[in-house]
């Protein structure tokens, strides 16, 4: 090739490379600015939470963004090592335990309530573990039963055992034929928790240690039976209209949600868990394939983009790409954690008020969901 032609080609290649680098840098700046703007919009809205945080990790690189405070009395900022109630994200933990036991051959996902706990729900004998994990079981939701609500209001700090929780729906008919459709129910994961105890001969707490905490390296995660929070913790607030913010952090006993939503953890631990869970590190590949079937169904609260459910997990198809994880809400908290399928990119979004559809400002709830999608876009840039 003539020298002049070679020089021209080289210059063209350099120009293309520079343009590509410039475009990549521009995309990085744009997603970063978009996320910051979205977080600011949440906090500037009427009815905004006291604080929020977003932990993002790409490979070994970690970002932590925060707004507002974790404690209105001290003005302490949100931190990645502070404890909080993870709410329904705990359902992914019961999914991990069940799939871990299945990997070890101690449980089949086709096993039924009738196989393991037949006396607790006599009208739901044919419901399988897989159906319970995917919310296609048709089990009535105990938290919607007036009797449960009355008992809880009488003494929010009281301890209710898992079997007591199921007693509120023991005489209820199935809402639909198991496997025929999707409907989110907290009863599902109470059932899974009790089945894994029967199948293993161990308490659910010990199973969490064996199948989740140790293999995922979690050191600040627990399943408490009292209202007391481990320190340091993110204070969660009720933001009732025309009332000052009320600290709900240590008011309601999370045992009333148990395997369905009773876990306390930190953004850092939750991030490590979802990377391991979604990345398939907690069970074998054969069992992991059982999570490849999805049904249309939203997590509660809804996650970003289009929501689809599988076993203990949701797939969120956003405008920027697909991620996998779970959301959750508990009085004082709203949360989301997601990961890419290979476990290499992840984020944890934490809000210290239960601002969800039907609870708190609908405008702020929508803004939070939009900000979560902007966070996903920044993660996948």
Is 10 domain-assigned?
no
Q: Count CA within 13 A, CB hemisphere, residue 367.
A: 22
Tell me, yes or no, whether 178 lies in a domain.
yes
Query: What's the whole-number mean pLDDT along residues 22-46?
Result: 80
Q: Is the pTM for the entire model greater than 0.85? A: yes
Compute the average pLDDT of residues 176-192. Answer: 98
Residue 4 lies in a domain: no
pLDDT tens digits, 242-280 = 899 999 999 999 999 999 999 999 999 999 999 999 999
- How would DSSP label each residue in 267-320? HHHHHHHHHHHHTTTTS-HHHHGGGG--EE---SS--SSEEEEETTEEEEEETT
Answer whether residue 11 shows pLDDT above 80: no
Going by pLDDT thresholds of 50, 70 and 90, the confidence category of residue 358 is: confident
Q: Mean pLDDT throughout 37-65? A: 98
Task: Say if 354 falls within a structural domain.
Answer: yes
CATH number for the domain that contains residue 361: 3.40.710.10
Given a cut of 70, is residue 16 above it in pLDDT?
no
C-alpha torsion sign, points 193, 194, 199, 200 = positive
pLDDT above 70 covers a percentage of the chain that reads 92
Q: What is the mean pLDDT of the chain?
A: 93
Q: Is residue 207 part of a domain?
A: yes
- pLDDT of residue 5 exceeding 70, the answer is no
In a domain, 19, yes or no: no
Is pLDDT at 1 greater than 50 in this prediction?
Answer: no
Least confident of 48-52, 131-135, 190-194, 288-292: 288-292
Domain encompassing residue 361: 33-379
Q: Convert the pLDDT of each residue in 69-128 to its tens digit.
A: 999 999 999 999 999 999 999 999 999 999 999 999 999 999 999 999 999 999 999 999
How far apart CA 380 and CA 101 sit, in angstroms, is 32
- 66 lies in a domain? yes
Q: How many domains does the chain have?
A: 1
Q: What's residue 29's pLDDT? A: 54
pLDDT value, residue 40: 98
What is the distance between the alpha carbons of residues 338 and 278, in angstroms, rounded to a whole number?
8
On whether the CB atoms of residues 251 and 227 are closer than 8 A, the answer is yes
Residues 36 and 7: their CA atoms lie apart, in Å, by 43
Radius of gyration over alpha carbons of the chain, in Å? Answer: 22
Residue 164 lies in a domain: yes
In this predicted model, what pLDDT tens digit does every residue of 300-325 receive, in sequence order?
999 999 999 999 999 999 999 999 99
């Amino acid at each position: 090739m003539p020298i002049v032609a070679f020089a021209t080609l080289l210059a063209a290649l350099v120009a293309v490379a520079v343009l590509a680098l410039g475009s990549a840098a521009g995309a990085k700046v744009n997603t970063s600015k978009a996320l910051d703007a979205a977080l600011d919009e949440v906090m500037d809205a009427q009815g905004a939470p006291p604080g929020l945080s977003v932990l993002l990790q790409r490979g070994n690189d970690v970002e932590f963004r925060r707004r507002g405070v974790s404690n209105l009395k001290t003005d302490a900022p949100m931190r990645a090592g502070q404890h909080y109630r993870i709410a329904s994200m705990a359902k992914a933990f019961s999914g991990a335990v069940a799939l871990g036991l299945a990997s070890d051959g101690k449980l089949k996902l086709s096993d039924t309530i009738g196989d393991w706990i037949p006396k607790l729900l006599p009208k739901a004998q044919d419901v399988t573990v897989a159906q319970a994990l995917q919310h296609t079981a048709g089990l009535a939701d105990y938290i919607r039963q007036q009797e449960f609500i009355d008992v809880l209001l009488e003494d929010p700090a009281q301890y209710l055992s898992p079997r007591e929780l199921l007693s509120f729906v023991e005489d209820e008919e199935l809402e639909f034929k198991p496997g025929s459709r999707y409907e989110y129910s907290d009863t599902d994961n109470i059932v899974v928790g009790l089945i894994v105890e029967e199948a293993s001969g161990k308490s659910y707490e010990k199973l969490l240690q064996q199948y989740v905490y140790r293999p995922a390296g979690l050191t600040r995660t627990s399943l408490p039976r009292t209202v007391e929070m481990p320190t340091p913790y993110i204070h969660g607030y009720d933001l009732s209209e025309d009332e000052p913010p009320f600290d709900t952090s240590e008011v309601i006993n999370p045992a009333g949600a148990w395997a369905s939503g009773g876990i306390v953890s930190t953004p850092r631990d939750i991030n490590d868990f979802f990377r391991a869970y979604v990345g398939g590190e907690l069970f074998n590949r054969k069992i992991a394939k059982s999570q490849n079937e999805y049904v249309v169904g939203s997590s509660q609260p809804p996650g970003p983009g289009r929501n689809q459910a599988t076993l203990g997990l949701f797939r969120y198809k956003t405008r920027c790409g697909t991620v996998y994880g779970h959301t959750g809400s508990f009085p004082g908290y709203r949360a989301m954690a997601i990961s890419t399928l290979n476990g290499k990119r992840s984020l944890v979004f934490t809000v210290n008020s239960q601002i969800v559809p039907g609870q708190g400002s609908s405008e702020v709830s929508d803004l939070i969901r939009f900000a979560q999608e902007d966070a996903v876009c920044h993660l996948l840039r």
